[in-house]
Structure 1
Amino acid sequence: MRLPGLCAAACLLCLTLSVGCAPSPSSGGLWSQQELRQELVMFRFSNAQRADGARAYQLGVADQQLASERARLQDLATNCPGPSQALEVSTGDRVRDGIRIQAQGDAARLASIAQLAMADWQLRRAASTGDAGFCEAARASLAGQKQQPRPVADDPFAAARPATVERDPAHPGLVLDNPPVDQALSSYALGAADGVRANSPFPEYLAWVYGGTASAQVPSISNDLSAEQLVDALALTHPEWEPDALYAALRMR
């Protein structure tokens, strides 16, 4: 279920149809000839060309949203650490999820999203701790500078650990079983699915950001680091996940 792709195709189709349906100042006979030529041009495009157009539209939307999210975080970095704030779910999670769906398969854009997600986490850690070191780390992330992950004795996400999220456990509905992440994300976020069974930390993330109840085996970790400190160390090792996804799973300990 790739709704963004369908939306892009629909928008392109609407734009194309608007060309053929726009009123013309010319006479009726000439207008009919022009309309026929426009319709012929529209149908000359192959399926591949129409797909390329839809993909170009998707990536254009993704780039606009990436620029907006980067500007938001750069503004926060300018005033970092800012007023003290408790560590809460990020307002940027849903925005970046939408960009991920639009940019799926594009390695460069997905890498940019991961950098923004890391900067977002570091800025929120700075606000919750007052530690200016997180501000410097966030600026480095925004600049695309490579940072070395801190070694951790135990990585609870190194091995598969099943988990489940249900929007309303008392009224179970359609539950997706190990679906592709993009499909599950759009289906659960839009309410087309009522639950998702997948490996941690994905279900825990869906529950925290989009609502619901997550159940999972609590990870066994043989160190004294807090959930926040573990995310500081592990987020760079798992750029495929939002840091909030790791935190949502680890804070269940």
Structure 2
Amino acid sequence: MKTITLNDGNTTPQLGFGTYKSTEQEGIAAVKTAIKKGYRLIDTAAAYGNEAEVGKGIKESGISRKELFVTTKLWRESLGYESTKIELEASLKRLDLEYIDLYLIHWPANQKNYTNWKKTNAETWKAMEELQAEGKIKSIGVSNFFESHLDALLETAKVVPAVNQIEFHPGYWQPELVGYCKSKNIAVESWSPLARGKVFDNPELKSIAEKHNKSVSQICLRWILQHQAIVIPKSSNPDRIAENIDVFDFELSNTDMELINTLPEFGFSGELPDMWPDKS
């Protein structure tokens, strides 16, 4: 497994296991299977409602905690200094862990939902910096932050976010934001790498997959890896879980990369961090 060194000196596997919608016994089994197949980065979130299952899967895997890199996230309706500290403790309890490797602000406060969104994000980040200093979190980062959110955060932040987890897949990969993050030494992490299954019907991706004797999902994941981004595919199917980690024995050509880079937009979730709806 290849790793990426973050701007705080910590290292993360470049490919990990996403757990969105992996709940109950199926969620526990999926995490155990993923760890057995070689995944060492496990990504969850408070909003997924499965931190307890992820924690059980980790415990039942038999793998030492220090060999794993566990990510969870603070939900957008729990932002604020005090709330962040309360929510982190709740996540630790549900996961049954003593520390989190990477803690992310799941979505930024925005002007549609907070009177002073910049202050809310700044106070949330201050709490995360303190939790990191206490050793309860190894690395701190953000998710779904646009350049405007990052610029505002960096006005007061003492710690530069280690990661920005964003929607990143063929058909919608936000190259300007990716370039901005790289200029700030913020690692980019891809969520929805397979565009909720939309990639499987794309003829260009099918053609590249046939050329390399790989699946479309393997082509997409390899493309993301070659952009030096972290990627967290999810599945509850053992065969798919194994297939998604088998992407380190081939390489896409510059031509392949450029073709995928320039595909017309498709598969976009429609979720925008500056437009998420009112709390009501």
TM-score, normalization: structure 1? 0.25
Structure with greater helix percent: 1
TM-score (norm 2): 0.23
